[in-house]
Chains A and B, each alone.
Chain A
Amino acid sequence: MNRSTVLKIIQPAPAGEPLPVVEAQNFNVWFSDAHILNNVCVSFGEHQINCIIGPSGSGKSTLIRSINRINDEVEGFTPEGTILLDNKNIYDKSVDVNRLRREIGIVFQKPCVFPKSICDNVLFGLPRSRKMPRREKLQIVERNLKAVSLWREVSHRLNDRAHSLSIGQQQRLCIARTLTVNPRVILLDEPTSSLDPVSTRAIEDLMLKLKEEYTIIFVTHDILQAKRISDKLIFMCNGQIIEQGSKDKLFTNPEKKQTWNYLNNEYCEC
């Protein structure tokens, strides 16, 4: 990646009040007996970077992982309430979970590439990729690797093992893999917490680019990162939404004292 691109000052787009794509209403989560999310009501705007912040153990990851129902796989997970995608409850019995997960992709904290080639990793989620003609496959790989700004770095070695990439490149490969199945919403669960500053900036840059086409919901510990790139900010603590709104409002004029405390002192007394 071009160094100047990586280090350029990132200016997020001005935040409007777009329609919510995903909306949680009175959403509760229990893991066995522990009440992890408590009456969460939150909406995530379309083509925005919706950023969830809060101290460790506040339920940020649980919330984001509930949005594409990956938590269903966790033992003892009991949801209650609704999460709406286009006004349809994703926890409804009629919902095809696999289809939902293609519409709402997720990228985890630690990059997880499969022990295959770079090319195969990009195509991994496509249902019929094995039967596709080679040219079509390469087009898909090129398009998605370009979307995550990885094409120039790996175009000459698409058949190398994905594990040979750096951690930052692996994380971008994971995002490319998610893009391949054409999601509308991309969830990112602390995607930069295991990366170095340059890779972190590359991913931030990428998120700003991706929000043009996708709705982004991401969790971060890093308040400065939230300040740099988010449009909408959601502050969580103890499994509850303390405050949500545009970034400018929360940073300059929050309604709750806890929000001000957390954003300015990284300290939470709730």
Chain B
Amino acid sequence: MTDILYIYAIAFADIEPAGPLGTGIGDEPLLMVSAGGLVAVAGSLPAHPSADTETLKRQDAVVRRLAGLFPALLPVRFGESAPDVATLISRIAPRESELTAALNLVRGCVQMTLRVFGEPDPAPEPGPAISGGPGARYLETRRREQEALRSLPEIGALSTALRPLLRAERIERHGDGPLLGTAYHLVPREGTAAYLAAVEEARGRIGGRRIAATGPWPPYAFAPEGVP
């Protein structure tokens, strides 16, 4: 049984952590693996961890601690590992520019998550007619559908009130059920009180819908997407 190198987070290489890294989800000592201008924080585990809620909470606690030690940190998804250091570096190196841009975005910020419950707005009027042949029309229709899944006009008044307080926003609209959608907000670390106050203040202006705000979290939702 060979150990795996289990990966927790990515940070800039040229900045020392503000304290000891501590241990990971298996009480293993954490180490930093350099990959170009970046470092990966990892630990050696005997086996791939399984995704039960206790383990997930433990990993979140590790990532939180790391986020407090580095000015900019990207959490890595649960379950990511490499067989050895060389493989780990080979996974990170080709994505250095993408990861660097994401690190620069999240520097000094935390994630606040807003869950929105309630009814969707009535279906909007169809957009302007699409020009072009059937292939172009198909792609444009699909593009509009994708765009709709990244928007929540139902909380427009709230979004407007929050916008000056955000570094970035990412929205996921869900299909059905009481959970209408989720807004992930990137907020400067010292701005969370103002953010929550603004949420409280605008809470009554979203057509009777209800919201649950949680956070601050490390910036999980602002890591680059899987496929560039």
Q: Do A and B bind each other?
A: no
Residues of B within 8 A of A (CB): none
Using a CB–CB cutoff of 8 Å, the interface residues on chain A facing chain B are none
